[in-house]
Structure 1
Amino acid sequence: MSYEENNPSDIDQKWVFQILKNIIPDLETSEISFLYHGTYNVFKVKDEFIFRFPDKHFRNQKGQQMIVNEIKTLKMLKKHIKIKIPDPIFFSTRKDELYMGYKKIEGISLSRCVRMMSSSQKLEIAGSIGKILSQLHSRSLIHKIFPKTNFSFNAFKQDWRHKFEKIKAIAYPILSENQKDWVHKLYSCYLNNEDNFNFEPSIAHCDFDTSNIIVNPSNFRIEGIIDFEDTKIYDPSIDLLFLDEGEEFMKMIFKKYKIHKYDDLKERILFFYNQMGLEYLIFGIENDLEEMIKAGISLLIKRME
């Protein structure tokens, strides 16, 4: 299970019930079940709705903007992509009452069933992922959704340089020499290769993994995609980090993915994939989250193998 699936809620469920009772008057306490806790505390309500309440570190202006941006993005994307995505029907942007609710997309996360699937079923899923990302990353969609946004390659590169400096400042003290050498090589190779900053930007989900892909458990077909809070104009490679599923899975994605060739993105995919543990580690250190720090180091060690 992922860190998010093991992470307990950091919000009082009695308070959640009171908020939801104002929206759904006939709600019973037994009809609320906690699902997982990442950026949001996520609850299933009446087996019909999904409600998301920000983690305590986002119950502020940043959390407000996060909800506003996601709702705006979802409303625009809904007009242009064929797969089901959340359609927010309940939300509040008050600092003391931040949440978003939508009708549940029926199914389960791909992460919960991918190990039970046959090789042919996995390849069918991979092909579907390629088709979905072809829609999301299409050249025409970026102009429809974010027509006035200019992507700055300089700002993008500076952001990754800043992340590397932050890692050296606050993560290096708890890493072994071997781990520091590996991280230094990872970031240096990425930052010093100008080809990594000469790509065609796309609308990217930016958290497109098996936990956010909803499938029908009876036939393993994709029903929808969730969790669009990080969606923005970005390097499309960030949405193609399915290396854990094997080379054949990746090849099938790119057989159906019509925007870029695998070889053109492979180096950047590998960088984004390998640095994932460091994202957990930095957030955990900055917010004194011991379990997230452990999860980050564990993932770092796994990537180094």
Structure 2
Amino acid sequence: MDNVLENALSIIRKEFNKVPIDSIKILASGFGSIVIEGNQGIIFRIARNVDIAKKYVMECKVLPQIEKYLNVNIPKPIWYKFNRALPPYGIMAYRKLEGNPIAFSKVNQRNRDILAKEVANFIASLHKIPYYKHNFRIIPKIENDKRVLRVLRNATSEFLKSNLTDNEYKKMETWWEKILSDETFYHHRLALCHGDIWYENILVDESYTRIVGVVDFSDMKIADPAVDLAPQIYLGREFHNAVLHEYINVFGHDKSIKHRIKRHRELREVYGLYYVIKHNQVEEYEDTISKIRNNIILNN
């Protein structure tokens, strides 16, 4: 058994007294978190590093405050533990939500527009939240900022130079110069964003006609609204376009939003690389490089 999981189970059985934990089901095991289901539908998220553990703390403080604004269910934290010294660095628990993550293979012409409207309505309801009226200092405010992107470039360039061909690296450097000089990208309004609202974090009913829940708010931020629209491309161009159409119906025309969505879609891959470098996730290197090739180098 994974040492982090084994230690977490020991802590849960000792300190979590709401229900006994005598059997578990591993739902997901990634390079940031392990997710398990215990007795009576209790979900436990277990942090592999301090950065993720801090995000759990943010979720536990913020989610109860935003629930009333949203039109679908979100996790209701019932317990969490933060320990900076030793793994597991953080654990949070909530009762399992109804529904199942959207499966790519089940989205088709019959349900695509219905689901797109549902997703757009959720994103719009989140972006309407008056975050400035709440004590949300724990949520990072991340504007599209050249200084931040220069740091990201410096943190990933050496790795990319060692793992790309000379021609690929040259194209990557050209892309960086373009995004850093792209003044359109740096002018936008701010909204409370989910931060990682791709289809596996969206729960749907059995008929695939209604979004019933959204999970994993650990990348929540106050940022460019395009951040939450960018991942919708993972369900295809037509789905993405349908979500954007419905979103614009709510907020009105934003002349640069399509352009900013494209930039955020590209930056998702670079931030993913930064994360695996920082946490030495060697097994993820090949996949992250492949994503950068396909989504940045070959598209610019």
User: CA RMSD, aligned part only?
Assistant: 2.6
State the match for 2:226 in structure 1.
Answer: 237
Of 155, 171, 179, the match for 1:182 = 171
State the distance in 2 between where 1:150 and 1:283 align: 17
Task: Tell me the amino acid that sits aligned with residue 228 of structure 1.
Answer: F
Task: Tell me the amino acid that sits aligned with residue 244 of structure 2.
Answer: F
CA contact (8 A) 2:47 2:91 kept: yes
Where do 1:165-176 residues align within 5 Å? Answer: 165-176=154-165
Of 2, 7, 20, the match for 2:12 = 20
Of 109, 113, 116, the match for 1:123 = 113
Of 295, 299, 304, the match for 2:287 = 295
Structure 1: which 5+ runs fail to align?
Answer: 1-8
Q: Shift of the alpha carbon at 1:220?
A: 4.5
Q: Shift of the alpha carbon at 1:151?
A: 5.4
State the distance in 2 between where 1:233 and 1:201 align: 6
Where do 1:239-258 residues align within 5 Å? Answer: 239-241=228-230, 242-257=232-247, 258=250
State the distance in 2 between where 1:214 and 1:191 align: 36
State the distance in 1 between where 2:273 and 2:141 align: 28
Where do 1:59-208 residues align within 5 Å? Answer: 62-95=51-84, 96=86, 98-110=90-102, 113-138=103-128, 141-145=130-134, 156-208=145-197
Q: Shift of the alpha carbon at 1:168?
A: 1.8
Q: 1:122 to 1:150 in 2, by over 3 A?
A: closer
Identity %: 21
State the distance in 2 between where 1:94 and 1:122 align: 43
CA contact (8 A) 1:172 1:180 kept: yes
CA contact (8 A) 1:106 1:223 kept: yes
State the distance in 2 between where 1:63 and 1:117 align: 31
Q: Shift of the alpha carbon at 1:276?
A: 2.9
Q: Shift of the alpha carbon at 1:152?
A: 7.4
State the distance in 2 between where 1:150 and 1:214 align: 25
CA contact (8 A) 1:126 1:253 kept: yes
Q: Shift of the alpha carbon at 1:230?
A: 1.4
Q: 1:234 to 1:146 in 2, by over 3 A?
A: farther
CA contact (8 A) 1:11 1:41 kept: no
Q: 1:272 to 1:234 in 2, by over 3 A?
A: same
State the distance in 1 between where 2:170 and 2:258 align: 22
Q: 1:200 to 1:300 in 2, by over 3 A?
A: same
Counting matched residue pairs gives: 288
TM-score by length of 2: 0.85
Q: 1:283 to 1:171 in 2, by over 3 A?
A: farther
Of 210, 220, 223, the match for 2:199 = 210
Q: 1:131 to 1:152 in 2, by over 3 A?
A: closer
Q: Shift of the alpha carbon at 1:266?
A: 1.1
The range that moved more, 275-284 or 75-84, is: 275-284
3-state secondary structure, aligned to 1:185: helix
The range that moved more, 33-42 or 292-301, is: 33-42
